[in-house]
A and B are shown apart, each in its own frame.
Chain A
Amino acid sequence: AQSVTQPDIHITVSEGASLELRCNYSYGATPYLFWYVQSPGQGLQLLLKYFSGDTLVQGIKGFEAEFKRSQSSFNLRKPSVHWSDAAEYFCAVGALTGGGNKLTFGTGTQLKVEL
């Protein structure tokens, strides 16, 4: 069964500082990997995704993530954080099952940005 681990429950960074959110996955084949962001009381917005090809993927809002198969990781990065980036971030791994792409989510990382 697939699983996702986000080791950091909370992270606080200063505005303008760099950010890295960690994500490790467990999956038997090549995974489909996603990062989503959720603001309080809202649904999920897709930041970026990896299916195949270039292991460094660019997303929206200046985010990027790097797929490292040897480390089973898909860490999310941003060179300079903005106060509006404060939110909950979820890493997810997808599997193709009979009916579609079943997603398994990590427990999330709450990002706080200090001004």
Chain B
Amino acid sequence: GAVVSQHPSWVICKSGTSVKIECRSLDFQATTMFWYRQFPKQSLMLMATSNEGSKATYEQGVEKDKFLINHASLTLSTLTVTSAHPEDSSFYICSARDGSPSSYNEQFFGPGTRLTVL
């Protein structure tokens, strides 16, 4: 149980285009999802916290207008990188929080999406 999927697993796009990444909780309802960014050989940096049906909360330094987050249902959150540039190339990982009382608010991580902007 507690499986989180991401789609696509990798994407290459041209500079100036927008890219959408999906994060799905497959067997549980996730009231909260998190988006992280990971640079090569570095740790995960939290970008934003996404709550179902409300606006995302962005971490300091993360551009809201560039990284659009939508959490329209209890099983799906999307991250759209708008007008992507080479510096947006990175590994994006989502996680979903299982809100059931027995889970202690544990986060379950997706497999990540490798974005390369040419």
B88 to chain A, nearest CB (A): 18
Taking each of B57, B93, B104, which has the highest tally of chain A beta carbons within 10 Å of its own beta carbon? B104
Please judge, given known A-B contacts A105-B44, A108-B43, whether A99 and B109 are in contact too, CB under 8 Å.
Answer: no
| One of B44, B91, B106, B112 near A101 (C-beta < 8 A) | B106
B77 at the interface (CB under 8 A from A): no
Q: For the complex, what is the distance from the CA of A94 to the CA of B95, rounded to whole Å?
A: 13
**Hey, which chain A residues are within 8 Å of B43, CB to CB?**
90, 105-108
Determine the distance from Cα of A99 to Cα of B33 in the docked complex, in whole angstroms.
10
B111 in the interface, Cβ–Cβ < 8 Å? yes
Q: How far is the CA of A106 from the CA of B93 in the complex (A)?
A: 16
Find chain A residues with CB under 8 A from B104 CB: 32, 49, 51, 101
Residues in B with CB closer than 8 Å to A90 are 43-44
Residues of B in contact with A, size category = 20 to 34
State whether B49 touches A99 (Cβ < 8 A): yes
Taking a contact as CB atoms under 8 Å apart, the answer to whether B93 and A43 are in contact is yes
Given that A41-B112, A94-B105 are known contacts, is A101 also in contact with B93, CB under 8 Å in the complex? Answer: no
Scan residues 58-115 of chain A and give those whose CB is less than 8 A from a CB of chain B: 90, 94, 96, 99-108, 110
Contacts of A99 in B (CB 8 A): 32, 49, 51, 57
Interface string of B96-118 (1 = CB under 8 A from A): 01010000111111111010000
B31 close to chain A: CB less than 8 A? yes
Q: Is the CB of B112 within 8 A of A100?
A: no
17 additional A-B pairs beyond A100-B32, A107-B42, beta carbons within 8 Å, are A41-B114, A42-B111, A43-B110, A44-B95, A46-B106, A51-B104, A99-B32, A99-B57, A100-B97, A100-B105, A101-B107, A102-B34, A103-B34, A103-B95, A103-B107, A105-B44, A108-B43
